[in-house]
Amino acid sequence: MLHRIILLITGSFLASATRAQTNADTIANIIRNHIYRLTTPSMMGRGYVGNGQKKASEYISSHFTNLGLTSVAAIADMQQYYSFPVNTFPSKMSVTINGKQLLPGQDYLVGAASTTYNNRKRIAIKNLASVTTPQQWRYTKATFSDTCIWLLLHTDSMCQNTGIPSHQLPSLLPSGCYILPQKNKLMWTVADHTTAATVVYITDTSLPALPTVASVDISAKLNKKYTATNIVACIPGTLPDSFIVFSAHYDHLGKMGSNTFFPGASDNASGTAMILYLAQYYAAHPQRYTMVFIAFSGEEAGLLGSAHFVQNPPFPLAGIKLLCNLDIMGDATDGVTVVNATLHPKEFELLTSLNNQHQYLPIIKSRGKAANSDHYYFSEAGVPAFFLYSNGGEGYYHDIYDKAEAVTLQNIPGVANLLINFTTEIQK
């Protein structure tokens, strides 16, 4: 009799998965609605200024609650709190070259670890192409003074020649303001500290041929103990101590000054929207395993939310049969890539077999181990973990153009259906 019940339940799961395959438009509409909600100006880029992250966490936890999801036993109200330092730019943000006002996010970005700077000074140009050794760099650095604003040319060549990682350069500069021209697209980030220098990255096309005077007014504030939260919710299964986890980070870069924010539609409102959809699906289709949904904060600051979770697990990590971490779920025109595929060949073979059978996606690419999203610390702790990200779209990333209207959701319903089918098979 028990065998017959299990067969009936399994058949129900498969039928549910089949029905889900026919609802691509519905899936896309649900995901798109969440992306738009998570990228509104009121969310302030889901960052560290104006309660942006808090507003996003409230939206996510309210959705889970409305679906009937519950907290795991060790966490009250689905919230797992922790704190970390973060540098912010909550107000003044102005850069003028030769009297021309530049546009934040479009023409320039402020180095994430920069300090407050407010001055109008002449521009002194320093060509660093001839600096080829660490000794030459130390000598050159000693010539910088705060009597002017420095325009540093060919910093990429200098870093390559001296072995200095380019991302470490701001921390090596003395007090003052420095302009670094950028040939490539502007991409912002998050810093947990401040440097002595204020660094402004300006696109080559925004600099005049003969820059002579700059006016820089930037207000920075180091929040030494920013409180963040991971949202953890579950749908208990008939085997309550066996877990399948879906995770995505909901935080993004936030605001740079009073009026410029980074929407983070693809990264990672899209992944968050995917787990919100999956929570809706599984709330209507309970499973044998307990389905857990984790929306991480602190990813952009260095995978801090997932690291805290693994160090302070609210349920035994050994009970996790598989974690599927979802990041950049905005456009799968060219399919998806699976990080850790080489670590779990049996599971990856199942995933690709299901895709070949149902043609959810044009291709699934295999990738090895990488510390590039919130799956990493789970994997290091011995938890079977995949990280899926989509391949396609305009390539907007860590910039002001990563907006909801730029997200196509091409083939993204196929990702959802594949994951539903995949987790059904895992539970057999």
Q: Where does 15-86+224-426 sit in CATH, by number?
A: 3.40.630.10
Q: What is the pLDDT of residue 310?
A: 98
Question: Which ranges of 72-179 would DSSP assign to H, the alpha helix?
Answer: 134-142, 155-162, 169-172
For residues 45 and 263, the answer to whether their CB atoms sit within 8 Å is yes
Tens-place pLDDT, residues 84-93: 999 999 999 9
For 359, other C-beta atoms within 10 Å of its C-beta total 9
Q: What is the pLDDT of residue 75?
A: 87
Q: Which residue has the tokens 């003969």?
A: 210
Tens-place pLDDT, residues 234-259: 999 999 999 999 999 999 999 999 99
Residues 6+ apart with CB under 8 A from 43: 37, 52, 55, 56, 59
Average pLDDT estimate for 372-394: 97
Whole-angstrom distance, CA of residue 98 vs CA of residue 49: 31
Q: What is the pLDDT of residue 2?
A: 32
Q: Where does 92-218 sit in CATH, by number?
A: 3.50.30
For residues 328 and 267, the answer to whether their CB atoms sit within 8 Å is yes
Domain boundaries of the chain, sorted by first residue: 15-86+224-426, 92-218
Tens-place pLDDT, residues 298-331: 999 999 999 999 999 999 999 999 999 999 999 9
- Using only the alpha carbons of the chain, give its radius of gyration: 24
Tens-place pLDDT, residues 180-198: 999 989 999 999 999 999 9
Average pLDDT estimate for 361-387: 98
- Sheet bearing 320-326, strands edge to edge: 79-88, 221-235, 289-296, 239-249, 320-326, 385-390, 336-339, 364-366
